[in-house]
Chains A and B, each alone.
Chain A
Amino acid sequence: MNEELRVAVDRRSGGAVLYTKGYINNVGGEEIANRAYELMNDGVRVLLLNLRETKIVNSIGISILIEIIEKMIEQGGKIGFCCLTPVIHKTFQIMGLANYASIFADEETAAKELGLAA
């Protein structure tokens, strides 16, 4: 039962896009956090998380995403999400993540709104 999350990073002018693949649980959330904090320490202040290849999340993983958002906001940056399944979008809303980060239907719209190079 290999549910290990994979994260790919695409550095762009204006920020970076993180592509996730797999289950965002406690371990997956920490993996995303590690990559996000590396980028933030490197001066990145705009992050887009593209979840198109993530179909399952849990509340612990989402709580870690909220921590990432809080740290980014503290540093004056912003985080967006795109390509969520309907149930992940609904779960983000239940837990209030949608109050702190922008959610976009697709990457093109997200990149434009966040000021990331396409």
Chain B
Amino acid sequence: MMPTAERQMELTLPMVPDIEIAAARAAGNLARELGMSSEKVDEMTHAIIEACINAREHSGCADNRMYLRFVGTTEDDGPRIDIWITDHGKGFDVNEARVRRQHLGATHKRGWGLQIIEAHMDEVEITTSAHGTTIHMVKYDHAHDEKTS
């Protein structure tokens, strides 16, 4: 069965404290409408929260906005949610961020956002340049072995 686009939502949100909750709730509602299990929804919403916090704290964007797109589809073995979170900030070096986290070690308390996102989502792809960053994340309802970054 070819996947069918069943639900789509686009949001433009200001970068203000706790706005990540609005983003997470919107995506969570969409996922629940498609029948995603509560544990998978919780993992997805925590990844969205971290992605929004990263955009708010580190993007350095001038427009003070983040742009979100959620697409929910139903595949043979259950719902799939695609999430794109975009900022128009200065971008960052993904590899440098990962190496920095490794060098900081487990005892350093900050900088865990990317690791949390990758642990909670099935697929993560980051596109970044001096004109902004988009993180594309995918969550499946079923067990999914593929992990990309």
Residues on A with C-beta less than 8 A from B106 are 96, 99
Contact of A86 among B42, B45, B110, B116 (CB under 8 A): B42
Count of A-B residue pairs with CB < 8 Å: 61
**Are A1 and B109 within 8 A (Cβ)?**
no
Residues on B with C-beta less than 8 A from A99 are 106
| Chain B min CB distance to A89 (Å) | 11
Contact of B18 among A25, A85, A91, A95 (CB under 8 A): A25
Q: Interface on B for A, CB 8 Å cutoff?
A: 17-18, 20-22, 24, 39, 42-43, 45-46, 49-50, 53, 106-107, 109-110, 112-113, 115-116, 119-120
Query: Given A3-B18, A91-B116, list of 18 further CB < 8 A pairs?
Result: A23-B21, A25-B17, A56-B21, A56-B49, A58-B46, A58-B49, A59-B110, A59-B112, A62-B112, A63-B110, A67-B109, A86-B39, A87-B42, A87-B120, A90-B120, A94-B112, A95-B112, A99-B106
Q: Interface on A for B, CB 8 Å cutoff?
A: 1, 3, 23, 25, 27, 55-60, 62-63, 66-67, 85-87, 90-91, 94-96, 99
